[in-house]
């Protein structure tokens, strides 16, 4: 039997401190770093740091020390602090059950209180206790009345299972690079936990069974296995080492499912539940034990590209939360299986709804009226604006197309498939990278020169917007001398003054002509040959919602495909054909592909060279 304890005091990031009758434990563990677990023998607490400050070269960046003079009571508790890029969790265990007062001590010691650049920083994070949100958008300096000042937040907490969990979580708000890079995430100076009752005497003290402790250790071990693998990922292991070792234990904010759970959900990957197929594997519909309907993407372990997509999606989409992005529930890595578990999208993809052939009754049940099309276009724009400008990770998707926009039961759009996505370094004007994406949607500067910016996604969005208006795929199966693609047809109609002829004939007269012209003009701006002339996605949202006037689109003769350009493009695509990694029915824009929905569709050819 192990004796219970009834208090917990930690000097977060600092040395042992005695404050009157209380002694605050040392928390300077050198083993605490990116995605790490720390616990000292003899102490009734442990901590888990989740995430990695990739933008700093400092070795011990997870403990910080104040560099100015502090004037406050118990100043020793605030000279140092523990910080984390994403999530910092303290666990108290072997605590006697009952009501406790939890005091969290904070002081902002990384910013200054003057008129310099260092005073402009703003740290914002959320506080959870026993997995309940107790403080949202908590700003230390604001609560304390300035930087370098102490603030103590008191909470009454009920301990029922001899365990206490205090979690500080950064939700992507506040500044990130003031006064230098990687200044963000939660920061805490000290923790004090005391009972609101008189603890029993030593002779009559309650005890906790060994079984409970073993269970706690097992659970903690599982968490460690899940998050500790980040050290084996991202810059620490090259691809020349085993892909399995790189993926095992990849740190993320998603759940880790067992293969047994997934087999039960998909009836052992029953063929009747297969809802998609592509170059990287299969997609199955499944139902979890709690009744949640999911899409299970089974990536091929024999494909290096499939493994890379798995790493990319876990590493990126798990850190993103937006109504217009598909939600990743979790993953599974067992018995050489690489499985991604997503929310299930009842209405398939945007391509499925737009490009279904009239003679295919099974695929023609869904009809998009004008109001729905406009809402979908705005939703896609908002999702991209979040990726480019609003999320904590600035991301270029690289494969925006109608196939990768899914529709939920209410026909709301969600961007999916982040397998080719790239982090966008804000300190660089562009990324020089190998070409990846789908023919017909790749921006010209990226297709020809590998010059990648978020304006490549803007170009792809412009193509998708034209597809939404016209109901036609940009990939024309039989190009003519006049029109190599949908965008060429739009340019030709604009030259002839017949731009409204591009609107989907299936809509008849039931569409808003003003909104249609607005969407077409926005699409033409987004598909400008010069990336400098393309708008940002936040500006696109503003224009589509009617909050910003759309400038007159002047057609540049260079953007019209003449005979010489047509021949050059044909030769270029034939040359690129040697590097195709996924070919899907170029002539049939509703061919099967690997997505998260039933009878999924694909247009064009996806490349990565």
215: in domain = no
> At 361, which helix (H) or strand (E)?
none
Question: Residue 324, Cβ neighbours under 10 Å: how many?
Answer: 20
What confidence score (pLDDT) does residue 464 get? Answer: 96
DSSP 245-259: HHHTT---SSEE--H
Q: Are residues 14 and 130 in the same domain?
A: yes
| CATH number for 193 | 2.60.120.430
450 and 497, same domain (yes or no): yes
- 461 and 445 part of one domain: yes
Residue 230 lies in a domain: no
Beta strands in 429-526 (DSSP E): 431-432, 436-438, 451-452
CATH number (domain holding residue 540): 1.10.510.10
Distances (CA, A) of 441 to 124, 133, 532, 572: 38, 42, 18, 15
Per the domain annotation, does 227 fall within a domain?
no
At which of 315, 343, 371 does a domain end?
343
297 annotated among ligand-binding-site residues: yes
Q: CA–CA separation, 519 vs 577, rounded Å?
A: 32
Both 425 and 516 in a single domain? Answer: yes
How many Cβ atoms from other residues are within 10 Å of residue 491's Cβ? Answer: 22
The answer to whether the CB of 548 falls within 8 A of the CB of 542 is: yes
Q: What is the CATH number of the domain that holds 260?
A: 3.30.200.20
Please tell me the distance from the alpha carbon of residue 19 to that of residue 77, in angstroms, as a whole number: 9
The per-residue pLDDT for range 409-460, each reduced to its tens digit, is 999 999 988 878 877 655 444 455 567 778 788 888 888 878 889 999 999 9
Taking the CA atoms of 47, 52, 58 and 61 in sequence, report the sign of the dihedral they define: negative
Give DSSP secondary structure letters for 186-247. Answer: -EE-EEEEEESSPPPPSTT--EE-HHHHHHHHHHHHHHHHHHHGGGGSSSSS-TTS-HHHHH
Taking alpha carbons only, the member of 550, 497, 493 closest to residue 525 is: 550
Which residues lie below 8 Å from residue 451, measured CB to CB, with a gap of 6+?
430, 432, 445
pLDDT tens-digit series, residues 8-44: 999 998 999 987 778 999 988 765 556 566 667 678 8
Is 380 part of a structural domain of the chain?
A: yes
Do 514 and 386 fall into the same domain? yes
> Which of 58, 137, 134 lies closest to 103 in space, CA to CA?
134
**pLDDT at position 222:** 54
- Domain assignment of residue 193, yes or no: yes
Distance between CA atoms of 459 and 465, rounded to whole angstroms?
10
Residues 132 and 272 in one domain: no
> Do the domain assignments include residue 253?
yes
Domain boundary among 208, 227, 261: 208
The confidence score (pLDDT) of residue 521 equals 94
DSSP 386: I
Together in a domain, 493 and 602: yes
Candidates 25, 126, 399, 504; catalytic one: 399
Give the per-residue pLDDT at 205: 42
Question: Domain range spanning residue 105?
Answer: 2-208
At residue 228, the pLDDT reads: 45
Q: What is the pLDDT of residues 507-554, one digit of tens each?
A: 999 999 999 999 999 999 999 988 889 999 999 999 999 999 887 776
Q: Is residue 236 part of a domain?
A: no
pLDDT at residue 268 in the model: 92
Counting as low any pLDDT under 70, the low residues of the chain are 1-2, 30-39, 41, 54-61, 67-68, 182, 201-254, 278-280, 300-309, 312, 315, 357-365, 424-434, 476-484, 554-609
400 and 542 belong to one structural domain: yes
> What sign for the dihedral angle of Cα 564, 568, 573, 578?
positive
Per-residue confidence (pLDDT) for residue 113, from 0 to 100: 80
Residues 201 and 281 in one domain: no
pLDDT the model gives residue 67: 66
Contact yes or no for 128/104 (Cβ under 8 A): no
450 sits in the region (left: phi over 0; alpha: psi -120 to 50; else beta) called left
**DSSP β-ladder status, 328-334 and 255-256:** parallel
Is residue 399 flagged as an active site residue?
Answer: yes
| Strands ordered across the beta sheet of 605-608 | 436-438, 605-608, 580-583
pTM for this prediction: 0.54
Q: Do 320 and 385 sit in the same domain of this protein? A: no
Let me know whether 305 and 365 are in one domain.
Answer: no
For helices 370-385 and 513-526, the axis angle rounded to 10 degrees is 30
> What total of structural domains would you count in the chain?
3
- Count of beta carbons in the 10 Å neighbourhood of residue 279: 18
Domain boundary among 343, 376, 397: 343
In a domain, 226, yes or no: no
- Same domain for 475 and 335: no
- DSSP line for 46-75: EEEEE---TT---SS-SEEE--S---STTG
């Amino acid at each position: 039997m192990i004796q219970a304890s009834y208090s917990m005091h930690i000097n977060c990031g600092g040395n042992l401190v005695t404050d009157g009758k209380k002694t605050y434990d040392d928390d300077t563990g050198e083993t605490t770093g990116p995605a790490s677990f720390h616990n000292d023998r003899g102490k009734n607490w442990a901590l888990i740091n989740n995430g990695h400050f990739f933008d700093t070269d400092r070795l011990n960046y997870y403990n910080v020390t104040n560099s100015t003079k502090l004037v406050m009571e118990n100043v020793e508790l605030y000279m140092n602090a523990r910080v984390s890029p994403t999530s910092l969790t303290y666990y108290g265990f072997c605590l006697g059950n009952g009501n406790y007062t939890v005091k969290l001590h904070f002081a902002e010691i990384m910013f200054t209180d003057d008129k310099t650049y260092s005073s402009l920083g703003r740290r914002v994070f959320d506080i959870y206790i026993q997995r309940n949100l107790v403080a949202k958008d908590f700003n230390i300096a604001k609560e304390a009345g300035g930087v370098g000042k102490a603030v103590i937040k008191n909470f009454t907490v009920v301990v029922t299972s001899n365990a206490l969990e205090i979690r500080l979580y950064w939700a992507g708000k506040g500044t990130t690079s003031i006064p230098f890079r990687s200044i963000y995430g939660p920061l805490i100076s000290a923790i004090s936990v005391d009972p609101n009752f008189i603890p029993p005497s030593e002779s009559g003290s309650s005890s906790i069974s060994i079984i409970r402790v073993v269970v706690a250790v097992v659970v903690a071990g599982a968490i460690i296995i899940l998050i500790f693998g980040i050290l084996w990922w991202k810059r620490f292991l090259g691809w020349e080492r085993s892909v399995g070792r790189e993926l095992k234990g990849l740190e993320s904010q998603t759940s880790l499912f067992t293969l047994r759970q997934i087999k039960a959900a998909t009836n052992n990957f029953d063929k009747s539940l297969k809802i998609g197929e592509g170059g990287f594997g299969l997609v199955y519909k499944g139902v979890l034990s709690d009744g949640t309907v999911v899409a299970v993407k089974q990536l091929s372990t024999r494909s290096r590209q499939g493994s890379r997509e798995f790493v990319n999606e876990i590493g990126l989409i798990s850190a993103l939360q937006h109504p217009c992005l598909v939600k990743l529930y979790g993953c599974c890595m067992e018995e050489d299986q690489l499985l991604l578990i997503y929310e299930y999208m009842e209405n398939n993809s945007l391509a499925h709804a737009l490009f279904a052939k009239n003679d295919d009754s099974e695929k023609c049940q869904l009809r998009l009226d004008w109001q729905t099309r406009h809402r979908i276009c705005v939703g896609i724009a908002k999702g991209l604006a979040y990726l480019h400008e609003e999320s904590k990770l600035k991301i270029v998707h690289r494969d925006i197309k109608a196939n990768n926009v899914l529709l939920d039961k209410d026909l709301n759009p969600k961007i999916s498939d982040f397998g080719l996505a790239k982090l966008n370094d804000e300190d660089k004007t562009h990324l020089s990278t190998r070409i990846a994406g789908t023919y017909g949607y790749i921006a010209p500067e990226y297709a020809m020169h590998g010059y990648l910016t978020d304006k490549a996604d803007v170009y792809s969005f412009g193509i998708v917007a034209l597809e939404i208006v016209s109901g036609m795929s940009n990939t024309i199966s039989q190009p003519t001398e006049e029109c190599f693609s949908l965008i060429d047809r739009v340019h030709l109609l604009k030259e002839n003054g017949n731009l409204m002829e591009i609107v989907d004939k299936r809509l008849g007269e039931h569409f808003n002509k003003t909104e249609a012209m607005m969407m077409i003009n926005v699409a033409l701006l987004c598909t400008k040959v010069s990336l400098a002339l393309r708008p940002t996605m936040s500006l696109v949202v503003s224009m589509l919602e009617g909050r910003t006037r759309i400038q007159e689109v002047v057609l540049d003769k260079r953007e019209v495909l003449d005979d010489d350009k047509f021949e050059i493009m044909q030769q270029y695509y034939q040359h690129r054909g040697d590097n195709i990694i996924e070919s899907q029915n170029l002539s049939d824009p509703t061919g099967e592909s690997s997505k998260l929905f039933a009878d999924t569709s694909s247009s064009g050819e996806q490349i990565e060279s």
